Amino acid sequence: MSDQAYNFAYLDEQTKRMIRRAILKGVAVPGYQVPFASREMPMPYGWGTGGVQVTAACLTPDDTLKVIDQGADDTTNAVSIRKFFQRTAGVAVTEATADATLIQTRHRIPEAALTTGQILVYQVPIPEPLRFLEPRETETRKMHELEEYGLIHVKLYEDIARHGTIATSYAYPVKVEGRYVMDPSPIPKFDNPKLSNSPALQLFGAGREQRIYALPPFTHVVSLDFDDHPFEPSKAPHDCDLCGAGESYLDEVITDDQGGRMFVCSDTDFCRTRCEAGHLGALGVPVLKGGA
């Protein structure tokens, strides 16, 4: 049931049209940040207002929505955003990646491969990949125009000189279709390979910074690197202690104050699905399918 006091998906139609036009231009120029007149939303800037506006502009009543934060469906902000759309758009919701037609995410790409027709909406805090090298928007805009990306390579190379390796572990910059350098939002670099050639449409919304950008399906996305220091996606060298997965991104959980810790999948839907299928990690307990 949607709340009749609000327009479908909260935003007024004129605002949606403005956002929709920005999304279409973003799709037409993959990786380019389209300015849009972001509105004040009933949740704070920095808490997903960009993603929420993009989701609101894309939703239809037929959609099945999944919202994750840190890969999990049950983190408080994911719960809050999901509830917002249940209330204002009356859409069906799910925790199953495969069942969702639209997924709003903060900081992760789901482990399960996405499919054609799905839309992944990222919440983006700082859309400008060059911002921490050059704080001025007027300057970074010029750098994108002229494809002057030397500065970001210098930064990555300084890492190598100091640490022997590239010391950027999340929000790792990428180049889209050989043209625009893009910030993939603060996903761990483990997720970067999933950006490229995905069958799903990926949309990025930065509310406070008033930018929308996009990766159409099957867009070529390359993580920046050097011949002698190739890009390496990385994760904790462990298996999930609940489901035993060896290739999923892990959260570290501190279990006592004696140095005890365990590692569990950050993607809660992926982990639960595996547990229900009978996979068992070192500290897991067998789960009855369909059980609580």
Partner 1 sequence: MYVAVKGGERAIDNAHAWLAEERRGDLGVAELSVAQIRAQLSLAVNRVMAEGSLYDPDLAALAIKQARGDLIEAIFLIRAYRTTLPRLGASCPVNTAEMAVIRRISATFKDLPGGQVLGPTFDYTHRLLDFKLAAEGEAAQAATAPAAMEAVPHVMAMLDRDGMIEAEPLGNDVPADLTREPMELPGSRALRLQAITRGDEGFILSMAYSTQRGYGRTHAFVGELRIGAVAVEMEIPELGFAVEIGEIELTECETVNQFKGSKTEPPQFTRGYGLVFGQTERKAIAMSLVDRSLRWAELGEDYTGAPAQDEEFVLMHADNVQATGFLEHIKLPHYVDFQSELELVRRLRAEVFATQEAAE
Partner 2 sequence: MNDALLGGFVDAAVQSSHAFRAALTVLSQPGEIRELHGAVPPAPLSVAAGVLLLTLCDGTTPLHLAGAYDCASVRDWITFHCGAPLVSVEAAVFALGDWVALQPLGQFAIGLPDYPDRAVTLIVEMPALEAKGAVLRGPGIADAAYLSLPEVAAFQANRALFPLGFDCFFTCGAKVAALPRSTHVEAV
264 binding partner (options partner 1, partner 2, none; Cβ < 5 to 8 Å by kind): partner 1
| CA nearest neighbour of 194 among 78, 268, 97, 94 | 97
Query: Should residue 161 be labelled a site residue for partner 1 when binding is judged by CB under 8 A?
Result: no
Minimum gap (Å) between residue 148 Cβ and partner 1: 19
Inter-residue contact 233 to 190 (CB < 8 Å)? yes
Residue positions counted in the chain:
292
Q: Contact with partner 1 (CB under 8 A): which of 64, 80, 94, 196?
A: 80
Strand partners, 254: 261
For tokens 């920005």, the residue is 22
Identify the active-site residue in 31, 50, 207, 244.
31
User: Which helix (H) or strand (E) covers residue 137, if one does?
Assistant: helix 137-145
| CA nearest neighbour of 87 among 207, 5, 205 | 5
Environment class of residue 204 by beta-carbon count within 10 Å: exposed (0-12), middle (13-18) or buried (19+)?
A: buried
Identify the active-site residue in 265, 275, 281, 284.
265
108 binding partner (options partner 1, partner 2, none; Cβ < 5 to 8 Å by kind): partner 1
Minimum gap (Å) between residue 250 Cβ and partner 1: 7
Q: In this structure, what token pair is assigned to residue 181?
A: 């350098």
58 counts as catalytic: no
Task: Return the range that interacts with partner 2 (CB under 8 A); candidates 26-34, 69-77, 105-113, 265-273.
Answer: 26-34
Q: In this structure, what token pair is assigned to residue 164?
A: 């022997």
Query: Should residue 158 be labelled a site residue for partner 1 when binding is judged by CB under 8 A?
Result: no
Query: Should residue 250 be labelled a site residue for partner 1 when binding is judged by CB under 8 A?
Result: yes
Q: In this structure, what token pair is assigned to residue 191?
A: 């997720």
Task: Return the range that interacts with partner 1 (CB under 8 A); candidates 56-64, 102-110, 192-200, 222-230.
Answer: 102-110
Query: Should residue 74 be labelled a site residue for partner 1 when binding is judged by CB under 8 A?
Result: yes
240 counts as catalytic: yes
Identify the active-site residue in 26, 58, 240, 244.
240
Residues 6+ apart with CB under 8 A from 13: 7
208 binding partner (options partner 1, partner 2, none; Cβ < 5 to 8 Å by kind): partner 1
The one-character DSSP state at 67 is E
- Angstrom CA distances, 106 to 15, 79, 120, stand at 23, 12, 10
Task: Return the range that interacts with partner 2 (CB under 8 A); candidates 154-162, 181-189, 211-219, 258-266.
Answer: 211-219
**What are the residue numbers of the active site?**
31, 240, 243, 265, 271
Which residues contribute to the site for partner 2 (CB under 8 A)? Answer: 7-9, 13-14, 16-18, 20-30, 32, 34-35, 57-62, 116-117, 141-142, 144-145, 177, 179-180, 199, 201, 214-220
